[in-house]
């Protein structure tokens, strides 16, 4: 029997999130493991052809754009996605492990009477069983979970995943048969972007993050300059956010964002387990810290022991020379 995976795409202001495209690519990779077909759904106004061109692989992508979906209201989304899951007999629903995915997944699980597995790091099919490796206790423990029967709703933790094929999915403007929307959330009237000038730290390919070692909000000027140079975003530890030096939108970790950049540079960050929980999927971690015993070095691929105020300007100077071809 063909198993149907429904991938839920998240969009913000009509722009499809990279984390959702990663989930789609991971679902495509699962097709090698059996008779599996993948369907996507984009609720809301992600209508431009350019947006859809970012997506490759096989399968239909349902695009549902109707009144009430423009504000990313989870209850409205849950109605639409549950209707799509029923219509396509989906047995697995996959969402990115973002704040929005974490809010939506339990609603879908309740509506579909499905099992819910959050923070999946990896997944595979063994016979009829879906096996999910998930992270618990800030990533210090991993558990292998399976759903014995019925539908499963999964949130997938970061992991940049590129498409293997160059096919284009078929885009299907869709209207779904569903009961009158009952639970439109009256609280959301307007979405305001927290930091419109820079890319969301959860989507960025390069993240330059700072901790308490930067001494104050002024220290982040160096990080902004370096991030601007390499086309990255600035991230922050929770201590920094608690101090009010940086906005919560930039916080990385257990109570912040889970990120999956190809390069993560931790500047003056000790590397507490709650912080490391957010960077497990980073491909390369570089740490700059004055304390050679700082735990961040154990999680780093490369480390520089030194004062961040000496190291970062030198690093940026070298990079500028390199980029100028000197």
Q: Binding residues for ligand FAD, per CB under 6 A?
A: 211-213, 237-240, 251-256, 268-270, 272, 274-275, 278, 288-291, 294, 307-309
Residue 54 CB, nearest approach to ligand FAD (Å): 29
CB 10 within 8 A of CB 46: no
Q: Which is nearer to ligand FAD, 57 or 268 (CB)?
A: 268
Q: Which is nearer to ligand FAD, 7 or 240 (CB)?
A: 240
Other residues' Cβ atoms within 10 Å of the Cβ of residue 292: 9
What span, in angstroms and rounded, lies between the C-alpha atoms of 64 and 67? 10
Beta bridge partner(s), residue 8: 41
Residue 291 CB, nearest approach to ligand FAD (Å): 3
Q: Which is nearer to ligand FAD, 3 or 275 (CB)?
A: 275
What span, in angstroms and rounded, lies between the C-alpha atoms of 79 and 155? 18
Residue 268 CB, nearest approach to ligand FAD (Å): 4
What span, in angstroms and rounded, lies between the C-alpha atoms of 201 and 209? 9
CA of 78: how far to CAs of 15, 48, 111, 153, in Å?
Answer: 20, 23, 8, 12
Residue 157 CB, nearest approach to ligand FAD (Å): 14
* CB-count exposure of residue 2 (10 Å: 0-12, 13-18, 19+): exposed
Residue 296 CB, nearest approach to ligand FAD (Å): 7
What span, in angstroms and rounded, lies between the C-alpha atoms of 98 and 200? 11
Locate tokens 């913000």: which residue?
Answer: 12
Q: Largest Cα–Cα distance of the chain, in whole Å?
A: 65
Residue 312 CB, nearest approach to ligand FAD (Å): 9
Q: Which is nearer to ligand FAD, 184 or 309 (CB)?
A: 309
């Amino acid at each position: 029997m063909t198993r149907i995976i429904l991938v839920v795409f998240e969009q913000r202001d009509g722009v499809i999130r990279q984390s959702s495209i990663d989930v789609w690519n991971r679902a495509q990779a699962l097709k090698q493991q059996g008779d599996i077909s993948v369907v996507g759904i984009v609720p809301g106004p992600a209508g431009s052809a350019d947006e859809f061109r970012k997506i490759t692989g096989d399968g239909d992508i349902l695009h549902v754009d109707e009144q009430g979906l423009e504000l990313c209201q989870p209850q409205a989304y849950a109605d639409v996605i549950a209707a799509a899951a029923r219509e396509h007999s989906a047995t697995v629903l996959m969402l990115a492990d973002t704040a929005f995915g974490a809010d939506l997944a339990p609603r879908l699980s309740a509506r579909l009477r499905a099992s819910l597995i959050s923070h999946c790091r990896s997944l595979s099919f063994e016979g009829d069983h879906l096996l999910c490796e998930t992270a618990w206790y800030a990533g210090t423990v991993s558990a292998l979970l399976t759903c014995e029967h019925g539908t499963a709703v999964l949130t997938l933790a970061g992991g940049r995943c590129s498409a293997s094929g160059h096919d284009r999915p078929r885009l299907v403007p869709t209207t779904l048969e569903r009961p009158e929307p009952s639970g439109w959330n009256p609280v959301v009237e307007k979405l305001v972007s927290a930091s419109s000038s820079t890319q969301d730290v959860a989507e960025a390919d390069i993240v330059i993050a700072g901790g308490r070692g930067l001494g104050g909000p002024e220290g982040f000027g160096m990080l902004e300059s370096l991030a601007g140079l390499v086309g990255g975003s600035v991230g922050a530890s929770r201590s920094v956010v608690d101090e009010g030096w940086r906005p919560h939108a930039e916080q990385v970790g257990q109570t912040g964002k889970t990120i999956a950049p190809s390069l993560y540079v931790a500047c003056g960050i000790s590397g507490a387990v709650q912080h490391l929980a957010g960077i497990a999927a980073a491909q390369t971690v570089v740490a700059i810290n004055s304390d050679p015993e700082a735990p961040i070095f154990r999680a780093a691929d490369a480390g520089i022991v030194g004062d961040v105020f000496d190291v970062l300007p030198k690093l940026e100077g070298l990079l500028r020379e390199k980029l100028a071809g000197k």
